[in-house]
Amino acid sequence: MTEPTSCIFCAIINKKITARIEKESANVLAFHDTNPVAPVHILIVPKVHVNNIYQMSNEDSSLLGEIILTANFVAKANKLDQTGYRLVINTGEDAGQTVHHVHCHVIGGRSLAWPPG
Ligand code: 5GP
Ligand code: ZN
């Protein structure tokens, strides 16, 4: 998918705006959320622009695997593997997706309520 000029996460990937980067590979970037909702709040994004996870398919299975395995790395690096954490992929309006470049939230470091609001 063509990268929209207005995409804030593409701007972070292309180092046009700064972010606190946690991990970077050829395909995936993990960086800290600017408005954290928990002591650890990290976003994992594919470097290729995709609006949301529903638009991903079998061809993206390796990339999807790398996103989830990067979440494992981030969890361990931040000691969340010992206490628990949540992965969230908001998709579409009703889920409150505000940035339309697919991203997986890694949220932890405190007790998390369920169900979400
Ligand atoms: P969504 O609601 O789309 O699932 O989550 C988007 C997330 O991106 C929000 O948690 C928001 O705080 C974060 N965010 C928005 N703009 C920026 C930015 O410029 N830098 C960083 N690091 N995070 C951002
Ligand atoms: Zn983008």
Distance 61 CA to ligand 2 centre (A): 19
Distance 111 CA to ligand 2 centre (A): 31
pTM: 0.97
Report whether pLDDT(3) > 90: no
* Residues 1 and 48: beta-carbon distance below 8 Å: yes
What is the pLDDT confidence band of residue 85, given thresholds at 50, 70 and 90?
very high
Respond yes or no: is residue 103 known to be catalytic. yes
How far apart CA 68 and CA 3 sit, in angstroms, is: 22
The mean pLDDT of 82-108, rounded to a whole number, is: 98
What is the pLDDT confidence band of residue 37, given thresholds at 50, 70 and 90?
very high
